[in-house]
Amino acid sequence: MYLCLSPESGIHLRNMFSLIKLPRVFTVHQVPKAFHEDSIISGYRHPRSSATDCVLSLFQLTNETLNVWTHFLPTWYFLWKLMTVLLVEDVWYNEYTWPLLVFLFSCCVYPLASSCAHTFSTMSTRSRHICYFFDYGALSLYSLGSAISYSAYVFPDSWVNSTFHSYYIPVAALNTVISTSLACYSRFFEKPSLRLSKVFRILAFAYPYLFDNIPLFYRLFLCVGEGCTDNEANSIHVPHILFAFLTAFLFATHLPERLAPGRFDYIGHSHQLFHICGIIGTHFQMKALETDMVLRQSQLLVTAPPITFNNTIGTALVCVCINLGIICLNILLLVYSHPDTHPTNNEGKKCKH
C-alpha cells in the first residue's frame, strides 16, 4: 500500500508548518533578574510567555529544553514500572507490596512536576514561584516514599523492630512537611538574598535525604558482623548513593557553567546534569529496593513490624494533603503579602517579541 502526496498537498503541509512560529530566545541582559540563572548567558524564553509558547519552546533549543525532557521522559519509565507492579502483583491483598507502590508513585510524581515547572515557569514571575512550589512538594513526597519503602525493606536486621524503627516513618512524615514549607518559603528570600534562598533550599532537601538514609548508611558503611544484612542489594545501593551525592554537588556548585559562562547554556549545564544524575540514582534505588524486597520477604514478614494501610498509603495521602495545604498558603502569601512579585507590564519591557 503506497501513500501518494500530490504537489498541492506538499504545498499545504509546508504552509501549515510555516504558520507554527517558534518563540524567540533572549540573553540574560534582556530578561528580568528574577529569571536569571547562574552563569547562563543565553537561551532565555520571554518572561511573559503564553502557555502555548511554553509548550512550543519544548521543540526548540533553549536553556530549559533539556531540563524538561530529562524529567518528562523518565516519568513514563517509572509509570510503566508502577503499572507493571499493579498488574502483575496481587496488590489489593498483598500488603507487602504497598511500600513499593508508594515509592513508585512518588517516582512518577516528582519528575512530572519538575518537567511541568520548567515548562511553564516563564509565564510570569508569580507563575515561576507557583510552579516551583509544586515541584518542591513533589520532591518532598519522593523523600517520604523512599522512607516508607526503606522502613519495609532496607532496615538492617539488627535495627528491625528497634525504637528508631518505630519512630522512623512518623519523623519522615514530619520531615516532608518541614521540607516543603522551608523550600517554598525560601523563594521569598530570592530578591533580598539569593544565596540565603539557595542555602535554605539545599537544607530543605539534604536533611530529609540524610535522615531517610541513616539505616542504609549504617548497613553499608558501619555495621560489622551478624545482623548487617549483607546481600546482593548492597552492591546496587552503592551507586544510588554515589549518584545522589553527585546530584547534590551539581545543584550546589553550578558546575561546569560557572567555569565557562555561556559555553553550556543549551547543553551540559549543571541543572541538566543534576536531572540526569537524579534519575539514574532513582533507577538504582528502585532496583535495590526490589532486590531487598524479594530476597528478604520470608524473613521480614516474620520479624518486621506489620505493613498496614496507615503506615504506607495512608501516611502518604495525609502528607499529600498537608503539602497541598502548604502550597496553597504560600500562593496566598505570594499574592497578598508580596505585591512586588506580581507580574507587571515592566516585566516584559526588556524583551519584545
Where are the alpha helices (H) located in 89-124, listed in sequence order?
A: 98-120
Instruction: Note the pLDDT of residue 225.
Output: 85
Q: Can you list the domains of the chain with their CATH numbers?
A: 64-341 (1.20.1070)
Q: Which three cell numbers stand for residue 234?
A: 548492597
Q: Are 28 and 36 in contact (CB under 8 A)?
A: yes
Instruction: Note the pLDDT of residue 195.
Output: 82
Which segments in the chain show pLDDT lower than 50?
1-3, 5, 10, 13, 16-17, 340-346
Q: Which three cell numbers stand for residue 159?
A: 535495627
What single string gives the DSSP state of each residue in 253-316? Answer: H-TTTTTSTTTSSSSS-HHHHHHHHHHHHHHHHHHHHHHHHHHTHHHHHHHSPPP-SIIIIIHH
| Residue 2 C-beta-side C-alpha neighbours within 13 Å | 3
Nearest 5 degrees, angle CA 219-CA 173-CA 207? 60
Instruction: Note the pLDDT of residue 17.
Output: 42
Rounded distance, CA 239 to CA 245, Å? 10
Instruction: Note the pLDDT of residue 11.
Output: 52
Q: What is the pTM of this model?
A: 0.91
Q: Which residues contact 54 (CB under 8 A, 6 or more apart)?
A: 45, 119, 120, 122, 123
Rounded distance, CA 244 to CA 247, Å? 5
Residues facing 26 on adjacent strands: 44
- Other beta carbons within 10 angstroms of residue 251's beta carbon come to 20
